[in-house]
A and B are shown apart, each in its own frame.
Chain A
């Protein structure tokens, strides 16, 4: 099998990730709910994971990192907790449904900007946008966008599901970050989180046991407890810690360099083929390791099926939960096939995928 669906989930993880999850399953008690060694072991490792994540993004305080089950949950909590009906909110057509649907649900006054040339309406309170498109691999200049927001008093919420661990992400890129653990951070599914830069008055959208203030009728509003009601996924979080440690050890720049080289090699191998249409800015100086395309006489699902059935190549066909960008690119009916590369993919896999596409083209003529 050649796994090229890493923008969905990285399948190959550093071995210490699974080892950590197994260790945690056997040794962790309930974190924050006791002082026995098993409980404290879990609590301490959750804290250590916060510190690793904070280190990766350059946050001073590990407690500015709260864990959730996914970037989607993070975005729901942040958008649901901050954005009120009627608030003027900017976003982009690049967004995943995990951004769009919570925004629609909020009842805000939503409008769309070009992330490369933003034109903010007067009265805008929030910008919620992705750092990198899960569909095309195009990247937003988040530092510049954030500076623009700061000058206008706009709170910027950045979806870093596709970028954290894959390209450099830093605290000067937004006010609030929503991340996932199972993609570029090589953690288990069911992990993700929120990183805040400053204090925000979130409305309570999730409440329950938090290990403190048992007899109070309200939920504490402090980070990170505010977002972590109920028993956290300490097993997964410990696995995530090992994934983030791996990223910190190898270095995001080196990971990005390797993944970009693979994606570029793949693109170079097929770009001359007239039957292929590529999507996104392929001339950009920096991109995510994502190549999305269509072949002239095939739908995306046809091509993905042939790649899997005939060659064992895993890709992602269809809409990629990015409805507005598909609409803009006129690919609602046929979708696209997305090839997304990881640090653990190899040059040989790229060569075999290029060969497979050429063979499919010949057979479908």
Chain B
């Protein structure tokens, strides 16, 4: 019983982002790469599943530049994943090509009983890959999941939607679950876990071997820019009554948002 976890390596949120000279991407020199925070939650849920279902094997999979992407796989292994696969690919692949590559690799490995992913990779801000992987594998998916229960033939999950509402969803297996915050608290890797992960042989697949051609890329990002500098804050003086009155005046007459 194979449980796949799709993970992505992203710049740490504390990292300062600089735009590359050609403006077609970011300048990656000096960036600290980490496992996407939602993918940590996905790994944790997969490992928890394995702990309750001894026949389950957790396979972490990522698509990205091999030399650095393997680090995120080692993190997943240290947290308890059993096997890891890296699809060596360009870092500027769009969602659909990434999803095709992931789906093709999962298929080639004999398919999944369950697939866990994050709900969002914090670099591209898309929330697309999970739904696409599910479609390419013709399996059901639920995204933004904050509760998971295994029911054998099916799974029962809770999905967070607008206004604080929750949808309770049942999916027949195999199914894909995209994790939101609140699903669990990811564990810290143990020292023996880290040692074991270091020695693990990571399976490598070349993106070019998967039959996903470059013309299948549908979206390209150009003209990277930093946000415009905000003018300095206008501080309001006087006692609290004066400040309140002044603020309302500014919001109405200057900013025109009331």
Answer whether A and B are interacting partners: no
